[in-house]
Amino acid sequence: MPKKLSEKELQELVLSVIKFIDPNAKVEVEVKDNIRINIVSEDSGMLIGKFGQTLESLQYVIRMMLNKAMDERVSAVIDVAGYKANKEKELEELALATAENVRNSKYAQDLRPMNAYERRIVHTVLTDFEGVEVVSEGEEPMRFIKIKPKE
C-alpha cells in the first residue's frame, strides 16, 4: 500500500537536499492532483543553474526521493522562485504566436529543441488550436516540435 506524506514531511524531505546548497531556503508545498514544490532562496540562481539545468537535476533527485518515500511513482513539479512557472508562460505564448503565424502563412515552423516536459506544454496548449497540426520530431536531446498547417 502506497504511503502518503504530509505537506510538512514533503517540506522536510526537500529541505534535506536543499540545505546543502542554501541552508536558509524556504520550501512551499501544494498538494492537489500532483505535488507542486516551490523553493524560495536568496541564491535562486545557484538552484536554477544555466538554462535551468540544475533545477532539472534537482527535480529528478527529489522525484526519486519522493517515489521511494511514498512507495509509488508520484507526479511532482519542483520550481525555484517561480522560474519554471515563468518559463511555462513564455512557452505557451511562443506556441500560440507560432501557431497563429503558421495558420496565417500556411508554412510550417519548427520550434527549438525541447525536453519532454516543454514539448508536452506546447502540445497541450495547441490541442484545440484550429488550422494547425503539432508533431514532435527528431531524436533526444535535439527533439523539437513542428507546427504545420492542417490540410
Q: Is 106 left (phi over 0), alpha (psi -120 to 50) or beta?
A: left
Which CATH code for domain 7-81? 3.30.300.20
pTM of the model: 0.78
Provide the pLDDT for residue 2.
60
Domains in the chain: boundaries: 7-81, 86-149
In order along its 151 residues, the chain shows pLDDT tens digits of 467 888 899 999 999 999 988 899 999 999 887 899 999 998 899 999 998 899 999 999 999 999 999 888 888 899 999 999 999 999 999 999 999 999 999 999 999 999 888 999 999 999 999 999 999 999 998 999 999 999 8
Pairing of strands 109-110, 132-137: unpaired
Mention the CATH class of domain 86-149: alpha beta
- Identity at 27, one-letter amino acid code: V
Rounded Cα gap, residues 79 and 77, in angstroms? 7
